[in-house]
């Protein structure tokens, strides 16, 4: 089983190699999902591959952002360069890019952002030139085992590092609320912000870090090919210590070095630890604080600026910090053991104590040393994909309603050409809507539900596409992340990514021949999470924006945008470009509003549009239509 370590910089590359990694993953200056990491220029990347290979370590290069039409040629050129530089694999999210690099003979791995969470997803990978699937982090050990027992491709599982609150590849919170797309490598981490809710306040979306060192044996027995350490944004010391800890735990768990390596790992970066979802669906949120505080040592009693160090495991030279609730009171380096005096004013009372520094970390830094000069002379080769020129006739777009209850279904039916229904009583809904009904599948299905042959479905990922693409009408939702015209899933209709701008939508319409839907109304779904704890209702951020929260029939939590996207005044130009369907999302909305929206989009009258705006609180938005990402 491969220990796969992060290399966000040349220094971290050396750290991971010296820590015992079997393979590292890194990125170039573009197309990597950690754009804020130092990353590697082309010559540095070529030199990094040579350095790693000289030390018996494989290199996987991330090309795992969504790619626009305007970027497709450059992305393919980069993958060709990565192959020419000798890298062992590329990690891909974008399905259009995957289709565009079929001719390049390099191993292709499905990023966790591709949302592979079922055996059907693994089978789709095998049929589409992918040799390894990096599984969704929401899976339990039981679910992973069920996939691994029959998977035709290698499987990779995250075991260490940051846990996204939202399912990877499906988060739009940073994009919609902050203009920085996580799918494009620029996440602003809204999950690490403070929120208020009716049941309390805190860092309600901030997951503790994954720490699954005790599950290495379980994963090996399942036949998992690779275990992955997250952390390209973290320090070289973290890269070394995390790699060393997992390498020792896997190969030599009785080595006495393991215990103090883990202790240092938990000191160098620590926002709290959890086992992820491996042990089952449970609360991963560490709501007290979202940042690195170091290793928690316990509560201490302060009197006259003095406290006892007994039983805390402190050593001379350790750095410590004191917290009173969320407030950091201060910190210093320990000078004496037994009873220590704080060198600044502190009120008497109880404080949380964290170790933020250990002198042995300096030894680690010295061990890592300076990276060699990473250079190379290979240049990128020109490449161009000729996208077809499509002449679309002006369309009268159909109105497709996203609905979750029978009451709302009946309200929109006079205006609907199609209904995507996500309620469990879909058979009863089909009796009302007839052939207009499409079963809207759950976004995550480790076991795909049985839907009778011939019943149209809306799918959200490659595994679902494979499972239901049996001759029935299949609709790809916006969660499939169609960002460019090379999108390869041949469905009856595909909904465009919500992150496309007006010009980019027009470009795809002129270079893609399939039926297209554009979302035109509704509160965009910002997050989709397996978190069992967040209460339905709403959360409010520090600016006062209120985001509705509800739980779907599968128990997954969904967080919606604070206002509705409304493109009613853009329908004429969408019609000119040949958009075949307008998506109108009225799930979890009052029947009266749903009916008003249906009427407004059918009549397109200014008066009806004004009624909808009033019913939406007077505030609507245009999403990314006018700004893009």
Polymer length of the chain: 629
Give me the pLDDT at residue 34, please: 79
**Average pLDDT of the residues in 234-250:** 98
What are the pLDDT digits (tens) for 284-303?
999 999 999 999 999 999 99
Give me the pLDDT at residue 284, please: 96
Phi, psi of 112 (to 5 degrees): -60, -25
Q: Calculate the average pLDDT of the chain.
A: 96
Q: H or E stretch including 82?
A: helix 72-84
Are the CB atoms for 303 and 348 separated by under 8 Å? yes
Residue of 200, 197, 181 whose CA lies nearest to 189: 181
Give me the pLDDT at residue 400, please: 98
β pairing state of 319-324 and 349-357:
antiparallel
DSSP 8-state secondary structure symbol assigned to residue 114 = G
Are the CB atoms for 526 and 561 separated by under 8 Å? yes
* Ordered strands of the 525-529 beta sheet: 200-202, 195-197, 537-540, 546-551, 557-560, 525-529
Under the banding of pLDDT at 50, 70 and 90, the label for residue 610 is very high
pLDDT of 32 over the 90 cut = no
DSSP 8-state secondary structure symbol assigned to residue 198 = T
CATH architecture of 2-163+208-274: Alpha-Beta Barrel (3.20)
Give me the pLDDT at residue 322, please: 97
Under the banding of pLDDT at 50, 70 and 90, the label for residue 306 is very high
pLDDT of 199 over the 90 cut = no
How many Å apart are CA 136 and CA 111, to the nearest integer? Answer: 9
How many Å apart are CA 328 and CA 309, to the nearest integer? Answer: 19
Give me the pLDDT at residue 607, please: 97
What are the pLDDT digits (tens) for 333-378?
999 999 999 999 999 999 999 999 999 999 999 999 999 999 999 9
* Ordered strands of the 295-302 beta sheet: 295-302, 349-357, 319-324, 327-333
Give me the pLDDT at residue 373, please: 96
Are the CB atoms for 73 and 129 separated by under 8 Å? no
* Six-digit token string for 558: 């969904």
pLDDT of 96 over the 90 cut = yes
* Six-digit token string for 481: 């992340």
Largest CA distance in the chain: 82
Strand partners, 63: 92
User: Which of 447-454's residues contact partners 24+ apart within 8 Å by CB, and which partners?
Assistant: 447/118, 447/146, 448/118, 448/120
What are the pLDDT digits (tens) for 135-194?
999 999 999 999 999 999 999 999 999 999 999 999 999 999 989 999 998 999 999 999
Q: Where are the domains of the chain?
A: 2-163+208-274, 295-368, 398-524+561-621
Q: For the chain, give me the number of helices (H) and strands (E)?
A: 18, 32
Give me the pLDDT at residue 193, please: 97
How many Å apart are CA 485 and CA 111, to the nearest integer? Answer: 20
How many Å apart are CA 507 and CA 577, to the nearest integer? Answer: 9
- Could you write out the DSSP letters of every residue in 186-214? ----GGGS-EEETTEEE-TT-BPEEE-GG
How many Å apart are CA 602 and CA 610, to the nearest integer? Answer: 14
* Six-digit token string for 363: 């030894």
Under the banding of pLDDT at 50, 70 and 90, the label for residue 38 is confident
Do 2-163+208-274 and 398-524+561-621 fold alike per CATH? yes
Looking at domain 398-524+561-621, which of 3.50.50.60, 3.40.50.20, 3.20.20.70, 3.40.50.300 is its CATH number? 3.20.20.70
Residue 394: burial class (beta carbons within 10 Å; 0-12, 13-18, 19+):
exposed
Under the banding of pLDDT at 50, 70 and 90, the label for residue 33 is confident
Are the CB atoms for 395 and 580 separated by under 8 Å? yes
Are the CB atoms for 582 and 574 separated by under 8 Å? yes
* Six-digit token string for 349: 């009372």
Phi, psi of 397 (to 5 degrees): -60, 140
What are the pLDDT digits (tens) for 584-593?
999 999 999 9
Are the CB atoms for 274 and 281 separated by under 8 Å? no
* Six-digit token string for 281: 């669906």
Are the CB atoms for 130 and 98 separated by under 8 Å? yes
Are the CB atoms for 600 and 588 separated by under 8 Å? no
Give me the pLDDT at residue 158, please: 98
pTM: 0.96
DSSP collapsed to 3 states, 291-351: CCCCEEEEEEEEECCEEECCCCCCCCCCEEEEEECCEEEEEEECCCCCEEECCCCCCCEEE
DSSP 8-state secondary structure symbol assigned to residue 37 = S
Q: Please, how many CA atoms are within 13 Å of residue 327, restricted to the half-sphere of its CB?
A: 5
What are the pLDDT digits (tens) for 567-601?
999 999 999 999 999 999 999 999 999 999 999 99
How many Å apart are CA 408 and CA 422, to the nearest integer? Answer: 12
> CA triplet 33, 39, 40: central angle to 5 degrees?
125
Strand partners, 91: 62, 109
Residue of 345, 293, 286 whose CA lies nearest to 319: 293
Residue of 239, 249, 256 whose CA lies nearest to 219: 249
Give me the pLDDT at residue 35, please: 74
Strand partners, 342: none
* Contacting residues for 580 by C-beta, under 8 A, at least 6 apart: 395, 397, 398, 493, 515, 516, 517
Residue 602: burial class (beta carbons within 10 Å; 0-12, 13-18, 19+):
middle
* Contacting residues for 568 by C-beta, under 8 A, at least 6 apart: 520, 521, 600, 601, 604, 609, 612
Strand partners, 150: none
Under the banding of pLDDT at 50, 70 and 90, the label for residue 249 is very high
């Amino acid at each position: 089983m491969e220990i796969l370590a992060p290399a966000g910089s040349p220094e971290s590359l050396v750290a991971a190699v010296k820590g015992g990694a079997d393979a590292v993953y890194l990125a170039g200056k573009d197309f990597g999902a950690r754009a804020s990491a130092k990353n590697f220029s082309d010559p540095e990347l070529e030199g990094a591959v040579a350095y790693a290979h000289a030390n018996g370590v494989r290199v996987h290069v991330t090309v795992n952002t969504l790619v626009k039409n305007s970027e497709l040629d450059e992305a393919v050129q980069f993958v060709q360069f990565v192959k020419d530089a000798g890298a062992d694999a590329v990690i891909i999210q974008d399905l259009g890019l995957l289709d565009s690099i079929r001719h390049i003979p390099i191993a292709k791995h499905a990023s966790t952002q591709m949302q592979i969470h079922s055996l059907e997803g693994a089978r789709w990978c095998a049929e589409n030139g992918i040799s390894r699937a990096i599984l969704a982090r929401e899976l339990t050990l039981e679910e992973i085992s069920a996939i691994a027992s029959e998977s035709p491709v290698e499987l990779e599982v995250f075991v260490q590092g940051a846990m996204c609150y939202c399912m990877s590849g499906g988060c739009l919170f940073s994009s919609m609320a902050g203009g920085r797309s996580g799918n494009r490598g620029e996440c602003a981490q809204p999950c690490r912000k403070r929120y208020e809710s009716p049941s309390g306040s805190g860092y309600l979306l901030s997951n503790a870090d994954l720490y699954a060192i005790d599950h290495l044996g379980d994963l090996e027995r399942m036949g998992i090919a690779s275990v992955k350490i997250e952390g390209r944004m973290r320090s070289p010391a973290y890269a070394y210590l995390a790699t060393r800890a997992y390498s020792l735990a896997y190969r030599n768990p009785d080595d006495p070095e393991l215990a103090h390596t883990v202790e240092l790992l938990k000191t160098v970066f620590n926002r709290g630890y959890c086992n992820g979802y491996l042990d089952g669906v449970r609360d991963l949120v560490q709501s007290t604080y979202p940042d690195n505080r170091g290793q928690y040592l316990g509560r201490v009693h302060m009197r006259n600026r003095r406290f006892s160090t007994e039983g805390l495991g402190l050593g001379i030279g350790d750095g410590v910090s004191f917290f009173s609730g969320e407030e950091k009171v201060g910190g210093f380096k320990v000078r004496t053991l037994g009873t220590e005096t704080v060198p600044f004013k502190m009120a008497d009372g109880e404080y949380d104590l964290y170790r933020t520094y250990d002198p042995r970390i300096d030894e680690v830094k010295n061990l890592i040393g300076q990276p060699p000069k990473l250079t190379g002379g290979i240049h990128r080769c020109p490449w161009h994909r000729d996208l077809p020129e499509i002449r679309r006739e002006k369309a009268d777009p159909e109105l497709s309603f996203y609905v979750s209850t029978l009451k709302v279904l009946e309200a929109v039916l006079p205006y609907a050409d199609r209904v995507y229904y996500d309620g469990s009583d879909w058979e009863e809904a089909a009796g009302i809507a007839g052939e207009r009904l499409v079963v809207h599948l759950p976004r995550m299905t480790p076991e795909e539900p049985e839907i009778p042959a011939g019943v149209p479905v809306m799918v959200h990922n490659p595994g679902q596409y494979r499972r239901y693409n049996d001759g029935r009408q299949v609709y790809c939702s916006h969660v499939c992340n169609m960002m460019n015209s090379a999108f390869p899933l041949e469905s009856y209709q595909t909904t465009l990514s919500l992150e496309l701008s007006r010009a980019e939508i027009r470009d795809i319409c002129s270079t893609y021949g399939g039926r297209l839907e554009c979302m035109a109304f509704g509160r965009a779904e910002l997050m989709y999470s397996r978190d069992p704890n967040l209460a339905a209702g709403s959360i409010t951020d520090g600016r006062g924006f209120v985001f509705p929260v509800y739980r779907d029939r599968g128990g997954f939590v969904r967080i919606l945008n604070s206002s509705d996207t409304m493109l009613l005044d853009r329908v004429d130009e969408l019609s000119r470009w040949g958009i075949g369907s307008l998506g109108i999302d009225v799930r979890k909305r009052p029947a009266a509003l749903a009916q008003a929206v249906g009427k407004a989009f059918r009549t397109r009258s200014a008066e009806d549009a004004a009624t909808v705006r009033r019913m939406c609180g007077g505030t609507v938005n245009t999403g990314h239509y006018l700004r893009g990402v």
